[in-house]
Amino acid sequence: VTDEHVSVGELSGHLDVDQIADLDAGVLGGRRARRARRHLAGCEECAGSLAALEATTASLRDLGTVAMPGDVAARVQQGLAAAAGETAGETVMPDPAAIRSRRFAAPRFAYAGAAVVVVAGLVVVSLTLARHHHSGTSNNAALQPALVGTASPSAAYVEQQTGRTYTPASLQQLVPGLLAMPRGPLYAKAAPSATAGHNDASGAGAQSGLPAATAPRAAAGGTSETFVPPLAPSLQRLANSRSALLACAAYITDTPNAVPLAVDFGRWRNPATHTRPKPSVIFVFSDPTNSSALTVYVVAPACGGSSLLDYQVVSRR
């Protein structure tokens, strides 16, 4: 069967590279191996091929490992959490979400009764603290059975539009600061879209029974525009609609009712792929398994199937 294979090499007077590799790997049969060794001993070119094979094996050994990218790790984690949910017989809320959402109970910067606090470069949309009746361990599904996938309309989170560029390395430093920012110097965010956004379909502003986001904006008097970079057009959809933003949070975490602690509209650049900074939303969640950590999702504006650009767990401090 193999006569043709051998004869091709012999036609040119040399051993096939395949044959040399087979010999080297010890899979060439006895007679064939002896013949090949004889030829190798006297043929400089074939000896060169053997050297090239050895160099190739050495370069393979020298290949370092590659770290699993954050988005893949996030996918795996979500897949495993979903599998865990199935095992436990939870079909409605299958995943880390189920655990994580329990921790959404008290976002750090949600002040019960406070209306809207506008501060340096960000708007804290702090509506009635929805979860005051939502104990630390209660099931989220029970809280909002009719709103699976849309989150409680009165859930509170910090929203920013810093416009700054995040990288995989800088997330660790910048994200904790997102949560600290509401205590910074006050100035108004002049993006009208944000004001409109928080009064949309969910009726969040009205429901709180408090002045909507327009009030503090007027109070702060438009001193802000130089500080706030223009919002990328592709981000308008999410920035303008609270329900779209929360739907995105639910989608990306695969968790109905997922409410972030903070959201920033900025840019994302991954030097590993040499991409230019592109408009992105940074979602910050409390970590369901570690109270001193935050989970961060970097999401492209489309918020669709391949929009998860990175996922990291960062320390709160």
Interacting residue ranges for other proteins, rule: CB under 8 A? 1-2, 4-5, 8-9, 11-18, 20-22, 24-29, 32, 45-46, 48-49, 52-53, 55-57, 59-69, 71-73, 75-77, 79-80, 82-84, 87, 289
Shortest separation between residue 227's beta carbon and other proteins, angstroms = 38
In sequence order, which residues have a C-beta less than 8 Å from that of residue 291 and are 6 or more positions away? 103
**Shortest reach from residue 258's CB to other proteins, in Å:** 19
Helix, coil or strand: residue 293: strand
Which residues are registered as beta bridge partners of 311? 297
Of 21 and 147, nearer to other proteins (C-beta) is 21
Q: Which helix (H) or strand (E) holds 311?
A: strand 308-315
Q: How far is the CB of 89 from other proteins (least distance, A)?
A: 14
| Minimum CB distance to other proteins smaller for 223 or for 289 | 289
CA nearest 219: which of 210, 211, 231, 230? 211
Least separation in angstroms between residue 77's CB and other proteins is: 7
Which is closer to other proteins, CB of 75 or CB of 237? 75
Residue 175 to residues 71, 198, 266, 284, 293, Cα–Cα distance (Å) = 17, 23, 12, 8, 11
**Distance separating alpha carbons of residues 135 and 99, to the nearest angstrom:** 13
| Distance in Å, CB of 28 to other proteins, minimum | 7
Q: Which amino acid is at 268?
A: W
Among residues 75 and 278, whose Cβ is nearest to other proteins?
75
Min dist. Cβ of residue 107 to other proteins (A):
25
Rounded CA-CA distance 234/208 in Å is: 29
Nearer to other proteins, 5 or 38 (CB): 5
Nearer to other proteins, 78 or 240 (CB): 78
From the list 93, 294, 271, the residue with the least C-alpha distance to 178 is 294
SS3 201: coil
